[in-house]
Amino acid sequence: MLQNYSQLLERISRSTSLSVDEIERRIEAKRAKLSGLISKEGAAQVVAAELGVNFDKEKMKISELLGGMKKVNLVGKIIQMFPVREYNRNGRKGKIGSFILADETSNVRVILWDTNHIQLIEGGKLREGAVVDITNASMRNSELHLTGFSDIKVSAESLENIKTERIFNEKKILEVKQGESVRFRAFIVQMFEPRFFMVCPACGKKVSETGECQEHGKVAPEKRHLVNLVLDDGSSTIRAVLFSEQASQLLGEGIENSEIFLKKRQELLGEELYFSGQVRQNKLFQNLEFYVEETKSINIDKLIEDLEKG
C-alpha cells in the first residue's frame, strides 16, 4: 500500500504543481482535523478533490488503485477466470462473476454483479487472455467491483509483460483491513491442534456424515484439515487459518499423528516467518482473521542487506 500511496502523491503533484512535501503536509493536517479517523490514502483522496484533481476520466494502472476509489477506469488482461456463482441473500437471487485482471504494474480481482456483464462471461466474450477496457468501477476491500453503472468491453489494445504473480502489500498486523492481500513478518505464539473434515472432491464443500454433498449428491469424500495459529509481529496479534496445502507447507506431512504434531508445534512456537494471505472477517465473532496462502522462512543475510540499503 505504501507504493500506491506514493504513486497517488506523485499523481496529485503532477496535476497541481505542488510539491510532494506540501501535499503530505495537507494530508497530515486533514488527518489531524479528523482526529486520525481517516487513513493516509483516504485523506490523500480528499485533498486531491479539494485541489480540483479529477481522476474520473483518466486511465489508471492497477498498482495505483486504493481502497474506496470511485469511478475507476483502466485497461488490463484477464489472466484467470472463476466460475459464475449463484447466490440467494435475504430472498434476493442473482449471479456473481469474477476474474483476475493484470497489467504491467500489478493485478487485481474483479467482481461482476450486473446481469449483462455476467452474460458476457457465460457467452464466452470475457475469457482468459482477453484485454478489456473497464470504466466507472469502484474499489472495495482490495477488489474492483462493477455494477450496472459500470462498463466493460473487449479492447483491441495489446498488453505485454504483465504481472501474473500474486501481489501482497507489506503491512503491520495493526494496519490490516478486511479484504486486503497482505504480507508481514510475525512470530507464531500459539498453535491449535488440527481439525479434520470430509469434503466433496468435485466442489470442495463439506459433506454430511453419510457422504452427501448438497450439490453433487452421494460422493466418495476426501479428507482435509486446517490448523489455527496466533501470530504476533509486535504491533498486534491476529488469528491465522491454514488449510490443508498451506498447513502441510508449514508443518509437513503426518500431523494426523498427535506425537508428530506436538513435536512440530514445539519446534515452530516462537519461530519468526513471512506470512502472505488475505484478511477476512469472522462473521460469528466479528473479528479479523488471516487466511494464509504462503509461508516463507526469513533469509537473515538478505534482510540485513535490505536494511543497509535503506
What confidence tens digit (pLDDT) does each residue in 206-228 have?
Answer: 888 888 888 778 888 888 899 99
pTM for this prediction: 0.59
pLDDT of 2 reads 46
pLDDT of 13 reads 86
What confidence tens digit (pLDDT) does each residue in 42-94 have?
Answer: 788 788 888 887 666 678 888 878 777 788 899 999 999 988 888 776 667 88
pLDDT of 242 reads 94
Grid cell, residue 62, equals 492497477
Strand-pair category, 287-296 with 237-243: parallel
pLDDT tier for residue 188 given thresholds of 50, 70 and 90: very high
**pLDDT at residue 238 tops 50:** yes
pLDDT tier for residue 245 given thresholds of 50, 70 and 90: confident
CB within 8 A of 270, min separation 6: which ones?
Answer: 187, 188, 189
pLDDT of 56 reads 62
pLDDT tier for residue 1 given thresholds of 50, 70 and 90: very low
What confidence tens digit (pLDDT) does each residue in 108-143 have?
Answer: 989 999 999 999 999 999 999 999 999 999 988 678
pLDDT of 298 reads 83
What confidence tens digit (pLDDT) does each residue in 92-116 have?
Answer: 788 899 999 999 988 998 999 999 9
What confidence tens digit (pLDDT) does each residue in 33-42 have?
Answer: 887 677 777 7
Domains of the chain: 2-53 (no CATH), 72-154 (2.40.50.140), 169-309 (2.40.50.140)
Q: What is the DSSP string of 102-159?
A: E-SS-EEEEEE-SHHHHHHHHTTSS-TT-EEEEEEEEEETTEEEE-TT-EEEE-----
Q: Are the C-beta atoms of residues 11 and 58 closer than 8 Å to each other?
A: no
CB within 8 A of 95, min separation 6: which ones?
Answer: 84, 85, 86, 87, 115, 118
Q: What angle do CA 231, 237, 243 make, to 5 degrees?
A: 40
